[in-house]
Structure 1
Amino acid sequence: MTNRILLALGAVLLGTTALAAAELTVATQNMSSFVDPGRDHSNVGSQNYVNAFDPLIEKDYSQAGAVFSPGLATEWEQTSPTTMEVTLREGVLFHDGTEMTAEDVVFSFHRIIDELTPEYKSIKTQFFTNFEKVEALDTYRVRFTTINPEPLFETLLNAQQGYIVPKAYIMGLTGDAETAEIADFEAFALAPVGTGPYRITRFQPGENLVYERFADYYGDEAPLERFEMRRISEMATRLTALANGEVDIITNVPPDQLATIENNPNLKVEGAVTPLFHVVIYNAMHPKLEDKRIRQALSLAIDRDLLNQALWLGEAVVPSTHTYPQYGELYMPELETFTYNPERARELLAEAGYDGTPIRFDTDAVYYTNGLLAAQAIKEMWAAVGVEMDLNVTNSWGEPSALESRNWSNPMYFADPAGSYGTMWAPGGARIGNTWQPNEAYVEMWERFRYSTDVETRKAAYAEIMEYVADEMPVLPLYQPYESYGLRQSVEWKPLPGHIPYVLDFRAGSIALAD
């Protein structure tokens, strides 16, 4: 199998030209162990895909709102509340030289809809649970059919998890070329092929990714001949590599290191508020936290504005509820779901009969920027209302049943509450049944929100959901972090507000290198 994977990746390299000056090296804090847009929904993975793969429907990433445009599809029409018909762009080539057709689109979605691997089953639950089938009408036309009315067709056909991959290439990687096997998808994740402006020419899992310009890309030519994403986990080492000219961009720069970069005339800082919440989650199914008054008290004890000032120099955004500006008409900052009230926290702890038993809080030392510092500050805030935190610094989260509380993140995977709050906390979401089990009324609220095609109905239902969350308190969003990047002065690049978190977009119009 290994030889076939190497041969497949080698085929992608055919026609690679000599490297020109337009090259770039990015030092990232983390690096994925696989590359497959349809099975990935991680913060680390999101940096990998936009340059090598394409969605059916594109959008203007320079703005937060959803302004859709043709991608691999040139036209689309929602012919009923449950049906979308799409016309594909002709002549689009995958990086292995084969043409993209309707069969590839059907395959890309049905590997997820049909749950061909456990990872695809998870993606279906969080993204495409409403999709019933995808059919090829002819070589360049596809019909999508959903179970319930679908208000998010365009949004979902723009999502990373719906990027199109090559059917024949994947099925030919291992075993029977006429059958899609788990081994095929595992092989693809090590030798990925897409339709994007760059092709992946080397992948060392957990270490580095190399991209080179794809000369046969259907759209605007890639501005770089070649770029590499290289894992350098230690911040000090990334900073030294940037200062020495070994790399051109570094990711995940904490606020206390910004001055070091800004004081170097060869370097600069770019950054943006990220469409992602750092959150605290509580295991409502654990005996220590099954009384919702204790969960409410722990949240009321946390001064999120103080965390923002101390850790992010006031540049992060502290939310009143679980909402983002990218939601457009469904952006609802007027909701007051999460507040700071230490006096009420003490009252609730007394009412619940809290006996002083320590509550464990798990955190990784480096995975989240400022994650450990936030946990240490929260420990002091809990202590101020009479709760002892057992701070557990670990890189292994253990069994869900043993979890008491921990930091986590809720990224915006697509621009709708279903694409952030919903992926974690909707019925069937990642946390449901692991740390929280809402009631049947909640399920009804969610379905009314998720499948209504009327904006006002969706807003009213989401307000009810947030009221329920305020009472149940399974999660507390702390803030949207302000994520900073260090750059060489010769690099013109910045994160774009229309992307999901941590995307490194080096497509035409997104990056330029000074002569």
Structure 2
Amino acid sequence: MADTNQRIVVDNFRAPVANWALESDAAYILSLSGCLETLTKYDAAQGKVVPFLATEWKQVSPLEWDFTIRDGVKFQDGTELTAESVAASLNSVLKAKVPARAFGPSTVSSVQATDAKSVRVTTTTESPLVPFRLASVNTGILAPAAYQGATVDPFGHCTGPFTPVSEKAKQSLTLDRNPNYWGGEVKLAGAEVRFITNGATRAAQVQTGEADISLSIPASSLSSLQSAPEVSVLKADSPRTATLYMNNGRAPFNNVDFRKALRSALDLQALAASVYEGAAVPAAGPFAPSEPWASAGASSPKQNVEEAKKLLADAGYSADRPLEIIAIVERAEFADVATVIQDNLKGIGVPVSIQAKEYASAEPDVLAGNYDMILSQRNRLIDIADPIGFLTADYTCKGTYNLSHFCNEKYDQLIAEAARTSTTEERYKLYAQAGEILDDQAVNLWLVNEQATDAIRSNVLSYAQDPLSRYVLTAQTAKSGS
């Protein structure tokens, strides 16, 4: 039975890095913590966008969408949610120096309140996916008072079931119940969200009871947790692929034969079986084969050392320096993945060095093109719950998250056409064609498709796993008494 006096501890795998700016990944922390809410929400079970802070919406012209704001919602500072406050919050994100990938001036030209309860979003080109974009956590709504200082202040200015009350920088966020939550009774008295980048530590804390929920459990910790008393391991299919990003913008990676040589050198089957202990499957390109936009018949590449050596010769490669792989420490298994890749590439005469880094410290150089390779993972539906966000940001010539520094005119044309296509089936066909270009050009080395794996204590009640880690603490989340 739920005890409404209980508090809960959540171990999360990343910390906010940009003073809570909503256009940054800090928005994910505020969302999973039960603070930040959006106009719409993607319901994975139904596979569609559903109402949240907006009750309905409609496209009133090719470039204009109107959203009706929910009645009776108050911010945690007591002020009312109005169309004006919604427009002001969205415009803050829209005008950010580095806009959110899901909601920026390249896709949205303006946001304005048309009356007390209606907000109009105007797009730069016809876009059928505006409701998807408004479900992005980066479009979360904060009260006007959140924007009065030099930086965004979410404390007491959200609409969600939990109110942030204090933080330890890069360590934790403490929240209390919002007693006036519009969505009904909040079952917990409060929560602490801890920022723990080390996956083994997250696993250990849920096992000992120091944490009640631990997100993103590494494969190496699964066996001990699955046999641990009072712990449940939750798994869900996830549009997340562990990827070796290659810098297509500089030698030797600017040669497609060289990139294909590295692909032929890898034994993905052995990688999945060893490092991931069978908790992941070899990737078959940029999409998982089960996804509706994947190419029919896509299969995982098989290791072929002789072909790899021939492709290296065709590329004119000579080993004049070791190539560096950055293995981000937030994913504990990447140290071992990097070692396997290093060994595979040594077998074809490509020397590799490995450097462990936190992603936040590596990202500036990676985005600037000052790197060789980086092991990371990208959830294809994290920006918006449709691949258009991932395919645009990550691989178009002007993509804001183009770690690969890839640029292909035909690819860009396909993505532009897909963004205008309202028929889901036709849009998915275009995504498949775009994926085929990425695979044909061996833009990156897609390694394994992973599952989302969380662990919870047995006294956690009404926890619904979200593979995208956007919704963790909700009004319904509860805990039984000790």
The two structures have a TM-score, normalised by structure 2, of 0.88
Specify whether residues 436 and 300 from structure 1 end up closer, same or farther in structure 2 by C-alpha distance, changes over 3 A only.
same
Question: Corresponding residue for 1:274?
Answer: 238
Question: Corresponding residue for 1:391?
Answer: 354
User: For the residues of structure 2 that align with 1:195 and 1:344, how far apart are their CA atoms?
Assistant: 57
Question: Corresponding residue for 1:170?
Answer: 146
Answering whether residue 352 of structure 2 is matched by residue 352 of structure 1, we say no
Secondary structure at the aligned position of 1:24 is classed as strand
After superposition, residues 42-61 of structure 1 pair within 5 angstroms as: 46-50=28-32, 51-61=34-44
Task: Give 1:29 shift.
Answer: 4.0
Name the structure where helix makes up a greater proportion of residues.
1
User: For the residues of structure 1 that align with 2:447 and 2:189, how far apart are their CA atoms?
Assistant: 40
Specify whether residues 369 and 271 from structure 1 end up closer, same or farther in structure 2 by C-alpha distance, changes over 3 A only.
farther
Question: Corresponding residue for 1:100?
Answer: 81
User: For the residues of structure 2 that align with 1:209 and 1:321, how far apart are their CA atoms?
Assistant: 37
User: For the residues of structure 2 that align with 1:313 and 1:424, how far apart are their CA atoms?
Assistant: 29
Task: Give 1:246 shift.
Answer: 2.9
Question: Corresponding residue for 1:111?
Answer: 92
After superposition, residues 50-129 of structure 1 pair within 5 angstroms as: 50=32, 51-61=34-44, 63=45, 65-113=46-94, 115=95, 117-119=96-98, 121=99, 123=100, 129=106
Answering whether residue 170 of structure 2 is matched by residue 194 of structure 1, we say no
Answering whether residue 482 of structure 2 is matched by residue 506 of structure 1, we say no
Question: Corresponding residue for 1:30?
Answer: 14
Secondary structure at the aligned position of 1:275 is classed as strand
| Per-residue CA distance 1:263-306 (angstroms, 9 max, x = gap) | 33233322334332221111112122221110121123222232
User: For the residues of structure 1 that align with 2:299 and 2:388, how far apart are their CA atoms?
Assistant: 17
After superposition, residues 357-368 of structure 1 pair within 5 angstroms as: 357-364=320-327, 366-368=329-331
One-letter identity of the residue aligned with 2:211: V
User: For the residues of structure 1 that align with 2:413 and 2:161, how far apart are their CA atoms?
Assistant: 43
User: For the residues of structure 1 that align with 2:101 and 2:427, how far apart are their CA atoms?
Assistant: 22
Question: Corresponding residue for 1:180?
Answer: none
Specify whether residues 337 and 444 from structure 1 end up closer, same or farther in structure 2 by C-alpha distance, changes over 3 A only.
farther
| Per-residue CA distance 1:112-162 (angstroms, 9 max, x = gap) | 32x2x323x3x1577562111112111101111111111202211111111
One-letter identity of the residue aligned with 2:252: K
Task: Give 1:211 shift.
Answer: 1.5
Answering whether residue 438 of structure 2 is matched by residue 463 of structure 1, we say no
After superposition, residues 394-433 of structure 1 pair within 5 angstroms as: 394-395=357-358, 396-397=361-362, 399=365, 400-411=368-379, 412-413=381-382, 414-432=384-402
Structure 1: unaligned runs, 5 residues or longer: 1-18, 175-182
Secondary structure at the aligned position of 2:214 is classed as strand
Specify whether residues 496 and 420 from structure 1 end up closer, same or farther in structure 2 by C-alpha distance, changes over 3 A only.
farther
Secondary structure at the aligned position of 2:261 is classed as helix
User: For the residues of structure 2 that align with 1:214 and 1:304, how far apart are their CA atoms?
Assistant: 47
Specify whether residues 32 and 373 from structure 1 end up closer, same or farther in structure 2 by C-alpha distance, changes over 3 A only.
same
User: For the residues of structure 1 that align with 2:159 and 2:432, how far apart are their CA atoms?
Assistant: 40
One-letter identity of the residue aligned with 2:172: N
Q: Tell me if the contact between 2:103 and 2:139 (Cα under 8 Å) persists in the aligned partners.
A: no
Aligned-residue sequence identity (percent) comes to 23
Q: 1:262 aligns with which of 222, 226, 241?
A: 226
Q: Tell me if the contact between 1:358 and 1:390 (Cα under 8 Å) persists in the aligned partners.
A: no
Specify whether residues 37 and 76 from structure 1 end up closer, same or farther in structure 2 by C-alpha distance, changes over 3 A only.
farther
User: For the residues of structure 2 that align with 1:151 and 1:341, how far apart are their CA atoms?
Assistant: 41
Secondary structure at the aligned position of 2:433 is classed as helix
Secondary structure at the aligned position of 2:275 is classed as helix
Structure 2: unaligned runs, 5 residues or longer: none
User: For the residues of structure 2 that align with 1:317 and 1:386, how far apart are their CA atoms?
Assistant: 27
One-letter identity of the residue aligned with 1:259: S
One-letter identity of the residue aligned with 1:455: T
Answering whether residue 334 of structure 2 is matched by residue 374 of structure 1, we say no
Q: 1:487 aligns with which of 443, 450, 456?
A: 456
The two structures have a TM-score, normalised by structure 1, of 0.83
Q: Tell me if the contact between 2:199 and 2:330 (Cα under 8 Å) persists in the aligned partners.
A: no
Q: Root-mean-square deviation (CA), in Å? A: 2.8
One-letter identity of the residue aligned with 1:378: I
